[in-house]
Amino acid sequence: MGQHRTTLRWALARALAAAACALACATPARAQALRLMVGGVEKQIYLPVALADRLGYFKEQGLDVQVLSDTSGGHAEDGLLTGSVQGVVGFYDHTIDLQAKGKFVQAVVQFSQAPGEAVVVAARQADIIRTPTDFRGHALIMAFYPADWSPVCTDQMALYSEVLPEFGRLGAELVGISVDHGWCHLEFARQRNLRFPLLADFHPKGEVARRYGVYDDNIGMAERALFIVDSEGTISWSYVSPIGVNPGADGILTALEAMTPVGASA
């Protein structure tokens, strides 16, 4: 047990100190502390940085680091852009988002796993999908919708479950996304026999929908929007439907067929 603690201590200190050292090298020397921000330090996924701070690992490396907490990763991004913090601890998508906007940022340290984080997939795919990287090479259909149980949303998700084999034939995976809680998703999927994942954009509420520009503050829910992200991670097609109208699956199928090389789906 003692050896395990020593190994954990060494790994945390080395990884997080490396991040802070890199920031120190890129920041002019000054008396104030290096500021690292996280999107909610109470969240279990940020346990590594919280432990490194509370157990004094930064100080052991000769670093004066101040860990700050805000309500979301989006606010942490803003802090990095304005210069109020020198680093952000969060998911890799923040780095990709900022790089896509032409900002020079670099991921210094990446953990392959985080406490409390898990990839949940259907039992039949448990031996195929073990990490998010296993989705590489597939298109991803992202279906944002306002709420579980509403009539239009129920019909839309049921239709997609029926058409799922066609999406698969064209090399695409499907996820549904709303601001409902995960427990609500579980019961909704069970009762409607949905055969694809439903993602909970629950807290911070609507953050994923905001990133895609389809969160409606007036109703506190996502719009009814469809995106196809290709195998290279680029949005290749999108459509926003009137909130009371089921967009169906024809547009998705047409877009996927246009992306599929001739003979690839035969």
Residues with catalytic roles: 153
Distance CA 228, CA 234 (A): 8
Which DSSP symbol is given to 137?
T
Beta bridge partner(s), residue 34: 65
Bridge partners (DSSP) listed for residue 175? 142
Do the Cβ atoms of 82 and 70 come closer than 8 Å? no
**Contact status, residue 211 vs residue 221, Cβ threshold 8 Å:** no
Token output for 72: 């979301």
Residue type, 121: V
Element (H, E) at 14: helix 2-26
For tokens 């991670």, what's the residue? 233
